[in-house]
């Protein structure tokens, strides 16, 4: 009878203990799952890319032997650039594709690899550099992109032996703006680039602009106005409001693109340190627009060969992009206004061609 009474007491207690253990295990599992989805608190493992690439990605895994064969074992003769996360080499894959291969050392830069793969593996647009594949080893990884043979916009704006015409500059601005517009309105959520600058705008054989380097990008869920993050980006291109409140949203990219447009117009760096009182590029443009000759802001290498009407449109657009965030245009609006500037410029160029042709014909007729 005593034994029966003891089990009568212990039995329910054991049952309750089992139920508590099951509930605790479920809660811990759910908590781990939720935490693992938060980017700022997750532990990025070196095999993370395989999980991130589930769901029929457009890019694919590439064997390490293929990487070394394409670059002749990362030969210095194939070196074409240096980024924060590692070196970039040109190469040719076994299928004949000409590619750019970014070599990332995982010590401290695994997050860059994961960001690039997640941002680009499922995304395709004519004005975004295409991620063709990736390779992941124990202590290093590689990202394989299409090769943009004309280099980057920075080389053309600030290089000594390279000059872009007014029409080319407008077309590059439009292509870059279309790429950003696509990212900001991506169906899966707004993709904020966070590092828009001339060095990250690549140019293909036909000078088609392609945004590159998504190592700092953030993806915002649909319906979310911003996400909080540490301040990242390049000096001179970072939105002052973002520096103050640490809120990431599309407006930060719009600001950066405004600075890029000012550089396309002027051919000047973001800040001139070779003067007694250095002045940021946007403040210089604002001063000229308020009381000076705005055409003093034009790149001297253009030799005055541009539409003054179109120049004024782009300058005002750039300044609106670098103004207060609430007053900044969307990238859709930026594209529309840039296309108007291109239309005006193209019409003027054709009129000048006809005028020149008529003048030459008249000269021939009288001689």
DSSP-based three-state secondary structure for 307: coil
DSSP-based three-state secondary structure for 269: coil
Contact 97, 149 (CB under 8 A): no
153-353, CATH topology level: Transferase(Phosphotransferase); domain 1 (1.10.510)
Instruction: Report d(CA 41, CA 194) in Å as an integer.
Output: 20
Burial (CB < 10 A; 0-12, 13-18, 19+), residue 91, is buried
Q: What is the pLDDT along the chain (367 residues), one digit of tens a residue?
A: 445 554 455 555 555 455 545 555 455 444 443 333 333 322 222 333 333 333 445 567 899 999 999 999 999 999 998 877 789 999 999 999 999 999 988 666 666 677 677 666 778 899 999 989 888 887 888 989 999 999 999 999 998 889 999 999 999 999 999 999 999 999 988 999 999 999 999 999 999 999 998 888 888 876 766 676 777 888 899 999 888 888 889 999 999 999 999 999 999 999 877 777 778 999 999 999 998 899 999 999 999 999 999 999 999 999 999 999 889 999 999 999 999 999 999 999 988 878 676 566 666 666 6
Structure tokens belonging to residue 159? 């290089």
Strands (E), 209-367: 209-211, 218-220, 227-228, 247-248
Task: Return the pLDDT at 145.
Answer: 92
Report the 10 Å Cβ neighbour count for 230. 7
Residues forming the active site: 195
Query: Residues of 342-356 as b/e, b for ≥16 C-beta within 10 angstroms?
Result: bebbeebbeeeeeee
Concatenate the DSSP letters of all residues of 324-367 into one string.
-GGGPPPHHHHHHHHHHHHHHHHHHHHHHHHHHHHHHHHHHHH-
The DSSP call for residue 89 is E
Domain ranges of the chain: 48-146, 153-353
Instruction: Report d(CA 194, CA 304) in Å as an integer.
Output: 33
Structure tokens belonging to residue 157? 């704006």
Task: Return the pLDDT at 136.
Answer: 85
Is CATH 3.30.200.20 the right assignment for the domain spanning 48-146? yes
Q: Which residues pair with 92 in a beta bridge?
A: 98
Tell me the pairing of strands 218-220 and 190-192.
Answer: antiparallel
């Amino acid at each position: 009878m005593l034994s029966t009474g003891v089990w009568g007491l212990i039995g329910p207690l054991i049952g309750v203990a089992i139920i508590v253990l099951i509930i605790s295990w479920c809660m811990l599992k759910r908590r781990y799952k939720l935490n693992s989805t938060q980017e700022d608190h997750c532990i990025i493992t070196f095999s993370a890319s395989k999980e991130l690439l589930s769901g029929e990605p457009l890019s694919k895994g590439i064997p390490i032997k293929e990487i070394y064969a394409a670059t002749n074992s990362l030969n210095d003769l194939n070196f074409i650039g240096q980024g924060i996360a590692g070196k970039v080499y040109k190469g040719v894959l076994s299928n004949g594709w000409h590619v750019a291969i970014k070599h990332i050392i995982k010590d401290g830069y695994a997050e860059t690899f994961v960001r690039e793969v997640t941002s680009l593996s499922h995304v395709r647009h004519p004005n975004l550099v295409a991620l063709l594949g990736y390779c992941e080893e124990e202590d290093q990884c590689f990202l394989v992109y299409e090769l943009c043979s004309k280099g980057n916009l920075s080389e053309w704006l600030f290089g000594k032996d390279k000059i872009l015409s007014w029409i080319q500059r407008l077309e590059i601005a439009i292509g870059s703006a279309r790429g950003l517009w696509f990212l900001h309105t991506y169906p899966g959520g707004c993709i904020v680039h966070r590092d828009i600058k001339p060095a990250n705008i690549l140019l293909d054989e036909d000078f088609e602009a392609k945004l590159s380097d998504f190592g700092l990008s953030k993806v915002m869920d649909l319906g979310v106005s911003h996400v909080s993050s540490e301040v990242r980006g390049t000096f001179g291109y970072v939105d002052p409001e973002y520096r103050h409140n640490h809120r990431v949203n599309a407006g930060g990219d719009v600001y950066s693109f405004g600075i890029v447009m000012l550089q396309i117009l002027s051919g000047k760096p973001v800040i001139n340190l070779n003067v007694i009182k250095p002045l940021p590029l946007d403040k210089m443009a604002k001063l000229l627009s308020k009381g000076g000759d705005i055409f003093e802001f034009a790149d001297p290498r253009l030799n005055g060969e541009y539409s003054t009407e179109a120049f004024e449109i782009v300058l005002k657009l750039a300044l609106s992009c670098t103004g207060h965030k609430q007053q900044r245009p969307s990238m859709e609006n930026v594209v529309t206004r840039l296309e108007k500037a291109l239309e005006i410029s193209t019409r003027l160029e054709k009129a000048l061609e006809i005028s020149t042709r008529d003048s030459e014909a008249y000269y021939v007729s009288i001689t």
